[in-house]
Amino acid sequence: MDSSEEYEDSGNESSGEDVEFAMERDDRAANERNPEDDYPFSVLSTKDIVEHMVDSIREANTVLQLPPTTMRILLNHFGWDREKLLEAYYDGDQEQLFRDARIVNPTVTRAPVIIPASGVEECEICYLTKRSEMMYGMECGHRFCKQCWSEYLTTKIIEEGMGQTIACAAHNCPILVDDKTVTELVTDPKVKLKYQHLITNSFVQCNRLMRWCPSADCTNAIRVQWVDWRPVTCACGFTFCFQCGHGWHDPVKCQWLKKWLKKCDDDSETSNWIAANTKECPKCGATIEKDGGCNHMVCKNQNCKADFCWVCLGPWDPHGSSWYNCNRFDELEARSARDAQERSRAALQRYLFYCNRYMNHMQSLKFEHKLYASVKDKMEEMQQHNMSWIEVQFLKKAVDILCLCRQTLMYTYVFAFYLGKTNDSAIFEDNQKDLESATEKLSEYLERDITSENLADIKQKVQDKYRYCESRRQVLLDHVHEGYEKDLWAYNTTIL
C-alpha cells in the first residue's frame, strides 16, 4: 500500500435535489456550529480517508523505515497513535512488539525458502502437486498454492468480513496477512474493493479522532483535533455528536443519553410494571396479579392457598374484626411491602411521564421533516402570485427552526428525567415550557394557517414566531450550559 491509488472512492453521487432545498443543509450546519468556531473539524470522503491513512504511514515511516504494509499493521495495533508506536519500538522489546502485532520482524534476516530441485511442491491444503511458481508463502514460511490462498482470502473477506485480522492459512499460525499478499493473490475486483473498504473502516474505527457519519448511506467521516461532546455536521447535512455518534442531543450529555436509551431498550420498565401491578404471596412468595376489585386474595399455589389482604399483605381472617383494619395494621414487613409498592409505582409513572413526551416530540419531528415537501409546494405557489424566490424563503427558514426546536425539546425531557428539584431546575422547566408553547404555535401556523389568501398577514406571524422560538431555544441551552460550567445541576439519585 504505497499510495492511495490502491483504494477506490466509493462515495455517493449527488442526489440532484433542488438548489433551494439543498441550501437547507448549509443553513442547518450554520445553526449548529459553534459561533466562535472553537471546535474545528473536517469532513473526509472515502478518498480523503485513504489519503490520510497513506500520509500517516509515510509520516511514521520517515522514522522507522519499515515496509508500508508492515507499518499499517503496526499503526493499527496502536490505534494509529504514532507516538505510542515509536515509544514501544525504541523503549521496549522489539521482538515482543512484533509478536504482539502478529508480524514477522522485517529487520531480522531469515534463511531463504528452499525450493525443491524438481520445481514442484505439494500444497498442504488441497494436497495437489503443483509447480513452484504456482505456490506462494508469507514471511512466516508457510507455502500453499495460489488458488487455495485466493479461495481462503475470498472466504475471509466476503463471508466473514475480515480485513485487518486475517491470519495465515496455516493451522495455528498467528501471523497476519498483509496488503501486498491480498493484492497479489486476490484477482476478483469486487473482493479487492471489499477488502479496501474493510481496511478503511478499521482505520476510522481505531482512530479516536475520527468517526464515520452515522447517517444512512453516507460514506463520509469526520476528523477532529480532540474528542468532546460537540456537534459536527457532515457534508450530507446530518449533525451529530462526535463523542457518542448519536444525533446532536443538546442539552443532555452523552452519559445520560446512553443510560436513557438503554432504559428505553431493555426490560427494566417491564420489571417496573410487574413491581407496580403485582405482589408476592406473604406465605410462599409466588407472584400474584390482582384482576378484580376485591382485596381478599387467595394464593393459587396448590401447596399454599394462603388468604391475605392485597392492601396490607396481612392475614385475611382478622379483617372482619372491628379492631383490625388496614389503616392501623403496623407490622414492619407489611409496611415495607407497601412502601416498595408505592415507590415502584411512582418510579414507573415518572418514567412514563418523560418517556411519553420524549416520544411525542420524536414523532412530531418526523412529521415536521415532511413539512419540507409541502412547504416547497407553497413556495412555488407563492412565486406564481408575484413573489420572488427570496421573499418566500421565510417558509423554509421557519421549518428549519421548527425542526431544531423539536429536536431540542425531545432531549430536554431526557435531561429533566435525571434532574433533581432545585431552583435552577424550576427555571429550566419554565424555559422548556416557553419554548414548547412557541414551537407548537409555529407548527400550527405552518401546517394549517398558510393560504394564498392570508399570505401577507401570516408571513409576519411566522417570521415573528420562528425568531421567538430561535431566541427561546438559545436561552434554554445557554442556561443549561451555564449550569454545567458552574456545577449547578443536582441529579435525581434515586434513578441513577
By annotation, the residues acting in catalysis are 294
CA 299 to chain centroid: 47
- HEC states along 296-314? EEECCCCCCCCEEECCCCC
Give the integer Cα–Cα distance in Å for 204 and 232. Answer: 16
Phi-psi region of 486 (alpha: psi -120 to 50; beta: other; left: phi over 0): alpha
Helices 46-64 and 68-77 meet at what angle, rounded to 10?
100
User: Which residues make Cβ contacts (< 8 Å) with residue 449, sequence separation at least 6?
Assistant: 458, 461
DSSP conformational letter for 221: E
Other CB atoms within 10 A of residue 144 CB: 24
Residue 257 is placed in which grid cell? Answer: 443519553
Other CB atoms within 10 A of residue 292 CB: 8
226 burial via Cβ count (<10 Å: 0-12, 13-18, 19+): exposed
Phi-psi region of 477 (alpha: psi -120 to 50; beta: other; left: phi over 0): alpha
Contact yes or no for 60/81 (Cβ under 8 A): no
494 burial via Cβ count (<10 Å: 0-12, 13-18, 19+): exposed
Contact yes or no for 68/60 (Cβ under 8 A): no
Which residue's entry shows cell 427494566?
Answer: 268
Three-state DSSP class for residue 205: helix
Give the integer Cα–Cα distance in Å for 260 and 357. Answer: 14
Give the integer Cα–Cα distance in Å for 77 and 161. Answer: 18
Strands, E, within 92-247: which ranges? 120-122, 129-131, 135-137, 143-145, 210-212, 221-224, 231-233, 239-241
264 burial via Cβ count (<10 Å: 0-12, 13-18, 19+): middle
